[in-house]
Amino acid sequence: MQDLRAMTLEQTCEFAEAQGWPKFRGEQIWRWIHAHGARTFDEMTNLGAATKARLAEVATIGCLTVAEVQTSKDGTRKLRLLTRDGASIETVLIPSGHKTTQCISSQVGCAVDCQFCATAKLGLKRNLDAGEIVDQVYLARKLLAETEPDRQLTNLVYMGMGEPLHNYDNLVTSLRILTHDKGAGLSARRITVSTSGLVPKLEKLGGETVRPNLAVSLNAPNDAIRDEIMPINRKWNISKLLAALKAYPLEQRRRITFEYVLLAGVNDSLADAAQLAKLLRGIKCKVNIIPYNPHPEAPYARPSAAAVDAFQNECKKLGMSTYLRIPRGDDIDAACGQLANRANGSPLVPLRVRKGPPPAPNVE
């Protein structure tokens, strides 16, 4: 059976015509799912009984279910969601003034194996399909409507579980669905896709008609450090990554965001800051400094507040546009790098704790 939630408007219209219906019927169905949030065919009140019966025979609306909602002392909420095959993923809602940012997942687990990230220790189970990606957004909107009707979802970041560019086709389909003006109608300017640096897919993303903001998880000022903490660097090193980013077609007033997780004694010295400034010179960018969020599966520590301030001040002195990302939701394992499907402090899926240097991940 075809999952209508995972289909673009064009695909849904083609589906309708294949059933012998007029093209506008496909648009009706699509708008019910993506504009009105319908989760069953019975909710589609302007469709006849025969049409609904046929839909039930040949199609489905893929739905995630909410297994758990945790609320942080700072107002951040983490939703643990179950897929139809019983897999568990997480998405996070982060309020900030009148804005609300949702951090969504693109995979069950992750194959990239960044050493400071809890998700990496789950390994990769599978990709999420486009319907599973967009339904995270619809469930978040539903939760806000029920609990905080005056608060709207304003920003979307693909920074949850998984490497978005490793799930390229479903990523792009989800972007087309979420930004369509007959559906959710989100602005591409308020959507950010984060990547650890899959160079061939970066080049491909630059050619898409829907281009989100781009964030790159850099986390090191040189290959020696990045090789150690991000094995993907052994396949596409910093030089290859920066070459792809310099060629990436940025729209006016857009900048590439470099994410830099500060690990005490690893990449947080003033010399590291100086090397980072030299590395990024000439690139239209900003740097998000992220103090490491601890979890039991990694041996690192968060730098002291003084060390964080010193690093950021050095970056500013050297001309970099830098922002400090204050940890949000770290008391419920919802902060950057902490998503690991935990319930009551314990992971639902056993985490891998690797001894010795990790191999370069096999990602395309």
pLDDT tens, residue by residue, 280-292: 999 999 999 999 9
Whether 343 has a pLDDT exceeding 70, the answer reads: no
Amino acid at 23: K
Please list the residues that pair with 99 across neighbouring strands: 96
Task: Determine, yes or no, domain membership for 335.
Answer: yes
36 & 82 share domain: no
149 & 49 share domain: no
82 & 123 share domain: yes
Cα separation, 165 vs 152, whole angstroms: 27
- For residue 246, what are the domain limits? 65-347
Task: Determine, yes or no, domain membership for 358.
Answer: no
Whole-number pLDDT of residue 152: 94
Neighbours of 178 (CB within 10 A): 24
Query: How many folded domains does the chain comprise?
Result: 2
Whole-number pLDDT of residue 296: 81
Q: What is the pLDDT of residues 89-144, one digit of tens each?
A: 999 999 999 999 999 999 999 999 999 998 988 899 999 999 999 999 999 999 99
DSSP-derived 3-state class of residue 107: strand
Look at residues 198, 238, 218, 232 and name the one whose alpha carbon lies nearest to residue 358.
Answer: 232
201 & 255 share domain: yes
Residue 331: pLDDT band with limits 50, 70, 90: confident
Whether 350 has a pLDDT exceeding 90, the answer reads: no
86 & 224 share domain: yes
Whether 316 has a pLDDT exceeding 70, the answer reads: yes
50 & 82 share domain: no
End of a domain among 33, 60, 87? 60
- Residue 364 catalytic? no
- Residue 259 catalytic? no
CA–CA distances in Å: residue 87 to residues 11, 82, 253, 343, 348: 26, 6, 39, 14, 10
324 & 227 share domain: yes
Biggest CA–CA distance in the chain, Å, is 70
Cα separation, 277 vs 160, whole angstroms: 27
Neighbours of 364 (CB within 10 A): 9
Task: Determine, yes or no, domain membership for 300.
Answer: yes
Task: Determine, yes or no, domain membership for 250.
Answer: yes
CA–CA distances in Å: residue 39 to residues 15, 61, 87, 134: 18, 6, 19, 13
Whether 322 has a pLDDT exceeding 80, the answer reads: yes
Whole-number pLDDT of residue 307: 97
pTM: 0.93
76 & 30 share domain: no
Task: Determine, yes or no, domain membership for 87.
Answer: yes
**Catalytic-role residue among 110, 117, 285, 336:** 336
6 & 137 share domain: no
End of a domain among 60, 78, 103? 60
Whether 354 has a pLDDT exceeding 80, the answer reads: no
End of a domain among 60, 79, 101? 60
Task: Determine, yes or no, domain membership for 357.
Answer: no
Element (H, E) at 6: none
**Catalytic-role residue among 90, 163, 259, 314:** 90
72 & 20 share domain: no
29 & 80 share domain: no
Task: Determine, yes or no, domain membership for 171.
Answer: yes
Radius of gyration of the chain measured on its C-alpha atoms: 21
- State the CATH number of the domain containing residue 20: 1.10.150.530
CA–CA distances in Å: residue 336 to residues 50, 61, 118: 48, 31, 9
Q: What is the pLDDT of residues 36-81, one digit of tens each?
A: 999 999 999 999 999 999 999 999 999 999 999 999 999 999 999 9
Task: Determine, yes or no, domain membership for 16.
Answer: yes
Q: Which residue has the higher pLDDT, 327 or 29?
A: 29
Element (H, E) at 257: strand 256-262
- State the CATH number of the domain containing residue 88: 3.20.20.70
Instruction: Give the lowest-confidence range in 167-176, 226-235, 329-338.
Output: 329-338
Q: Which residue has the higher pLDDT, 338 or 228?
A: 228
Whole-number pLDDT of residue 273: 98
35 & 179 share domain: no
User: CB of 160 within 8 A of CB of 92?
Assistant: yes
